[in-house]
Each structure stands twice: as C-alpha cells, then as structure tokens.
Structure 1
Amino acid sequence: MRGHVNGWVRDGVGIVLMGVLICIFLFADMTNIEATIPKSMLNVNTIFLSIVLEALPFVLIGVFVSALIQTFLSEEMVQRLIPKNPLLAIVPAVLVSAIFPVCECAIIPVVRRLMKKGMPLHVGVIFIVGAPILNPIVFASTYYAFQTTPSIAYARMILAFVLAMIIGLVIYLFFRNRNQLKWTRNELVDKLTESRGIQTNKLKSTFYHASDEFFDMGKYLIIGALIASLFQTYLDREVLIQLGTNDVSSPLVMMGLGFILSLCSEADAFVASSFSHTFSTGSLLAFLLYGPMLDLKNTIMLFAYFRARFVIGFMIIVTISVYLIILGYQLYV
C-alpha cells in the first residue's frame, strides 16, 4: 500500500512538472513578467527551456526504442547476440554503440531496458559512454564547429572509442556484472507476466511502455535541466577561466564545465569552440568527452534507475579515465 502511494506521488510530481513546463513555454510571452521577475531568473527560464527542448526529441526517441525493445526483443535473443566471453564482448559493444544516433539522455532508457533483458552491465556502460559521442551526427557537428582544426573532431572519436573500452573493462573488473538496476513494481509485474507466457497486444504494450517511461524519465530530465540552468546563470565564468591556465588544471576545469552545462552531445561542440582561444586543445577535448558521458541531467537519471553505489563508482571511473587520457594526449601530441 505504501509503495502504491509513493508511486502515485512520483507520478503526480512528474505530471505537475510537465504541466509547469508547458505553461511556461506557452504563456511566458503573453505576460509582462520582465517588470516583476529579476533578469537572472528570466535567464534561468531561458536556459532551462533550451536544455529541455533540446533534449526532449532525443528522449522521445529513446523511450520509443526502449518500448520496442521491451515488447519485441526477448531475453534469449539478447543473450544470443552478446558474446559469452565478457572481454570479447567489449570491442563489438563499442562498434554497435556508434550506430545509436542518440544523446546521453536518450541512451539511458535504451540501455536500462536492454540490461533488464539480460545485457551484461559492462556492455550497457559502454553504450552509455560511447553512443552519445561516437554516432555520426556528433562527428558531423564537431567537424563543422572546428572547421579550422578538424583534428579535434577525429581526436574526439578516437579517444571516445578507447575510453569506452577502458571504462567497460574497469566496470567489469570492479562489478563483475552483478545486477545494479533498480526495479519498479510495474516492471516486476511485466516480467512475471512474460515468464508466465501471458499474451498481450504488442502495439498497445509498446505505447503503454513508451508513455510510462516518458513521464517517468521526463521528471528527472526537468529536475536536471533546472539545476543546470541555475549553475549556468549564477556560476562566475571568469573564475573558471582563471583556473584553466595550465595543462594540469584546465582539463579538470573544462570537465567540470561540461558536467554543469549539461549540453546535448549534438550541440556541445559549438560551445566548446567558443573557448578555443582561451583553453588548450586537450582541455577542449576533456569538455567534449566528459560532458556526454557524465553531466547533471544523466547523473540524476542514473541515480534514479541504478543503485547509488554503482553510480558513484561509475562517476569516479569515468572522471579518472577521461582526465588520465587527456593528460596522456597532451604529453604525446
């Protein structure tokens, strides 16, 4: 009974947040709010809407792909497609992650659903860190943003490929593919239904899962976007620039900036290019690698759907891996 009430509360919060977002988007220009609300709060509103509207189409893609996986892909099929040897599965997983044209928000529901179908933990992590960077859309946007220095686009892809393998391997060594997912009551009921062979309307089931996951994930997207917009508005950029004056600290500064800004991986290269006269190439690559792998939005989503201990470990592994590979890049390039 208590879990049922908590579920209603969570759903209610999600619906309210979505309603507030729609009202702000539709009616903000119809009221004279500039005279009563501080300019900084209006800036928060603008950034918040831009983050949400930028991510929303990709989240929709992600939840529909997730729903299709839930409805049409069996656990036996997933297990047949993945090599039995966990180490041999790493390179194919990185290659497959490159065909997902989705950002860091959209890949999480897809990976979560695949892991519930039997995908190993380290393979799912490879998709989470690799797909937002390695897909062709991101390469094209990065190449276009750095037309005068196209080597940055190639370096981003190569380093992301290597990082995805390293992170997947380290995750396997530390967690040994033990289950790290959180299961909701509805998902447990669905799993029980499948195990008993109960037939359901597949089209209806697809839309049901898509809508359920959209509202579930939407509230975390909105919370993450709000926190990111507050940071972007009130964080002093001059402090960041002062900290990023050497090859040791500047990658950390840009990694922190990538985490805070929570930009979609299809658009972050244009922001990175605006720092090209202030920060080194290695620092720009740190921004372009770390942000899509780990930012405020997807961190909140990860804590919502994975166990806290795993998420903290994942964050530490990604942070250390990106920082060390950037230091190595700066030494040898």
Structure 2
Amino acid sequence: MGYRIVVAGATGNVGREMLNILAEREFPIAEIAVLASSRSSGTQVEFGDTGKMLKIQNIETFDWAGWDMALFAIGSEATEKFAPIAAKAGCVVIDNSSLYRMDPDVPLIVPEVNPDAIDDYKKRNIIANPNCSTAQMVVALKPLHDAATIKRVVVSTYQSVSGAGKQGMDELFEQSRNIFVGDSAEAVKFTKQIAFNVIPHIDKFLDDGSTKEEWKMVVETKKILDPKVKVTATCVRVPVFVGHSESINIEFENELSAKQAQDILREAPGIMLVDKREDGGYVTPVECVGDSATYISRVRDDATVDNAINLWCVSDNLRKGAALNAVQIAELLGRRHLQKG
C-alpha cells in the first residue's frame, strides 16, 4: 500500500527532478498526479527512467480531496493560491517556494538536521523546503555544531544558473554561443552578462544592502539549525549550469581542529568527504550533478581566529537544494505520521 502523491509544477526543472527522485528512491506510490498550468495541460512527462508517461492535469481544476501529499514547485505566487486549498482538503503540502519558510506555524525541514520539527506540520498542513544554498550548508554545519557549537558562519556562495530556472540556463547557453560567434550577449534574465562572468546579486536588494538570497541564508539557518548562530553571506551567480558551491568559514565556541572536523564529516549523514591535499583532490560542481550527496572538501584550520575552520561545500542544487530534500521530507512524514506502504 502506498501514498497518493501530487507533483505540482511537473514541467519545470525542479518538478521533473522530483519525479526522477521519486522513481529512483522507489517511493511507495499508490497513485500519482502531475500538475501544471493550463498551458501544459494534456502534455506528458516521464516518471523518471521507468518509461511510464504521466499526463499533465490543470492545477486550476484539480480536486485535492483524497490525496496524501503534494510536492509543490510552482513559485510563491501560485503556491499562495493553491497550497491553502490543498492543505484544507487534507493533502499535506511540501513547498519548495520561499512563501512559508519563515511562517512560525510552518516547519522548515532538512531531514538530516531537524527531523523532529516535522511534528508541527498539522498546524497548517504545510511543510517548507529551504532555499537551495541554505539546504546544503546546514547539512555540513549540523554535525560540527553538535560537536563544538558554532558561534559564527561567514559564507560566500557560487550559485549555478539553474537556481534561476530554465530561463537562467537558456540565457547562459545563448550568451556563450553568441559570444563565440561574435554576436551580442544581451542580459534578459540576469542583471548583467552571465556568460564568462560572475554576478554578486541574487534576488532583490534590501534596505541594508544585502540581497534577499543572502537574507534567506541567514534567517533560514537560524530557524533550521540554531537561532543563536550568527551568519553573514555573500551570494554570487556564476556561469555554471547545475551545482552550487560554497566557501564557508566557521567559528566555534569550543576547540575543533580541521582533523577532528574531517573525522566528524566523514561519518555524517548526507555528506561525502573528498579532501585530498593534492591536485584534483576536491569536488567541483560538474562532478556533483545527478548525485544526492553534499560534498565537502578543502577542510583546513583558520589561523586568524581561535577555534575556526574553512571548508568547501558543493551540491546539486536541483537535488539536495530542492527536489531531493522535498522527497526526503515526504519520506520522513510517511515514517513518522502517515505510515502507509
């Protein structure tokens, strides 16, 4: 016996990846429905590598009654409209947008970090998936925080264009091609040329000079990991198609050496430590694509601060940063509360 599952936004990058991961992990499914806007209604998407094709239904007319869980990848505006309808009908919404992340009545979950928080889902029948850059970082921070208590985190991100959706990926491809043939590289999705460039600007600017992406990393880390941890972030878009990278400096209350950190991370759930101090002895975004792990490399002591280390963190943002984490939340919800299959 399995669950009746809905994937909303099934034609987008994250929605398709959700279908891939549900199939790959053999999630117990009794029935699955795939939804999108009326423009895509009637088209088909593949259910992972199973060869099974699923027909897209119109989210506007979908009847949510009797469905167990819905994985949402439709953006904040559509989520604001449809999530309360689904939740009221008894379907638990696992939402990938930023809409509910800081709602005190909605748990914000990374299963390796704060699984117990899922017990509060009944307040709204909604569970939030964190920002892609936050998700991989807190997976790396959690075991270190448990060991030595983190005081402060300074993070610089190198975020792939897939974080901006299909338009972002298309723009990088088209600009790169145009530059090679001598045509103009006009910026449409991004604020400046992304091909062969980096842009220190993701999402809107806030009054204090930070961007909303940077703000998300701060407040989400506090909600997921520990409100006492201080976080400062600089988020940068880079010309990489898939895979977010992060340079993280971590200051602890208690002593923790790089060697101790390596030993802890090597055994931590969801983490793959690849840290050889030699040419190529680290992981880059290209190598993490299609993988579920959060990769850690370049672990070393910070000699400028007491009890501090630096590390390099890489993950497939469409998987752990979005689709995989949503499916892991669904698995956790099933184990702890719904208990089918």
Tell me whether the two structures share a fold, i.e. TM-score over 0.5: no
Query: Which structure's relative contact order is higher, taking Cα pairs within 8 Å and 6+ residues apart?
Result: 1
Q: Whose strand proportion is higher, 1 or 2?
A: 2
Q: Whose helix proportion is higher, 1 or 2?
A: 1
Please classify the TM superposition score into its range, dividing by the shorter chain length. Answer: under 0.3
